[in-house]
């Protein structure tokens, strides 16, 4: 339920897992799209525009702002991450200021910065692991 995440996430069903892998496939197809502040389409994305766009392709409406996306879904423990989970980081400001989509337990795809493009990175990389804030699982219809 939006705004009230639970303490832990249930194991995904086969149907949910299948949808999550399709969602990640869509996200991965967007690799190379340039970063654009305020961007929310394949001409350019910022981080939350990217996640909002990808989830919308599967009928899932996410809020536009990172801090609002951080408030939806179910809390997921770091050792229970699966494809399609939203990962949150504190980068430019305290609290959730960056969002990405988990590809697997140690990889994620995101729109990283004004000088970057949509790409895959490792959660275990020091920069990201030091800034990791938490994850949320969004139930797909």
Tens digit of each residue's pLDDT (9 = 90 or more) over 50-89: 999 999 999 999 999 999 999 999 999 999 999 999 999 9
The full set of domain ranges for the chain reads 14-137
Catalytic residue among 33, 47, 60, 135: 47
pLDDT at 133: 98
Contact between residue 2 and residue 137 where contact means Cβ atoms under 8 Å apart: no
Q: How do residues 101-123 score in pLDDT, each as one tens digit? A: 999 999 999 999 878 999 999 99
**110 catalytically annotated:** yes
CA angle in degrees (0–180, nearest 5) for 11-91-109: 45
pLDDT at 126: 97
Paired tokens of 118: 């949509």
Q: What architecture does CATH give domain 14-137?
A: Alpha-Beta Complex (3.90)
Distance CA 10, CA 62 (A): 20
Catalytic residue among 81, 110, 135, 136: 110
Residue 14 has pLDDT above 50, yes or no: no
Catalytic residue among 83, 88, 98, 123: 98
Distance CA 67, CA 21 (A): 25
Residue 5 has pLDDT above 60, yes or no: no
Q: How confident is the model at residue 3 (pLDDT cuts 50, 70, 90)?
A: very low
**111 catalytically annotated:** no
Residue 1 has pLDDT above 90, yes or no: no
Strands 132-137 and 119-122: unpaired
Paired tokens of 23: 């969602």
- The DSSP-derived string for 53-107 is HHHHTTT----SSHHHHTTSSEEE-GGG--TT-EEEE--SSSS--EEEEESSSSE
Q: How confident is the model at residue 134 (pLDDT cuts 50, 70, 90)?
A: very high
């Amino acid at each position: 339920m939006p705004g009230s995440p639970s303490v832990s996430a249930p194991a995904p069903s086969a149907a949910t897992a299948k949808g999550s892998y399709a969602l990640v496939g869509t996200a991965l197809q967007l690799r190379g799209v340039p970063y654009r502040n305020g961007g929310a389409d394949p001409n350019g994305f910022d981080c939350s525009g990217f996640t909002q766009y990808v989830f919308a392709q599967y009928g899932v409406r996410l809020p536009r702002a990172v801090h609002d996306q951080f408030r939806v879904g179910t809390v997921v423990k770091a050792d229970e991450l699966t494809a399609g989970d939203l990962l949150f980081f504190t980068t430019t400001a305290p609290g959730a200021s960056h969002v990405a989509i988990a590809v697997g337990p140690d990889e994620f795809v995101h729109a990283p910065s004004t000088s970057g493009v949509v790409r895959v990175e490792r959660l275990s990389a020091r920069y990201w692991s030091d800034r990791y804030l938490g994850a949320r699982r969004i139930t797909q219809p």
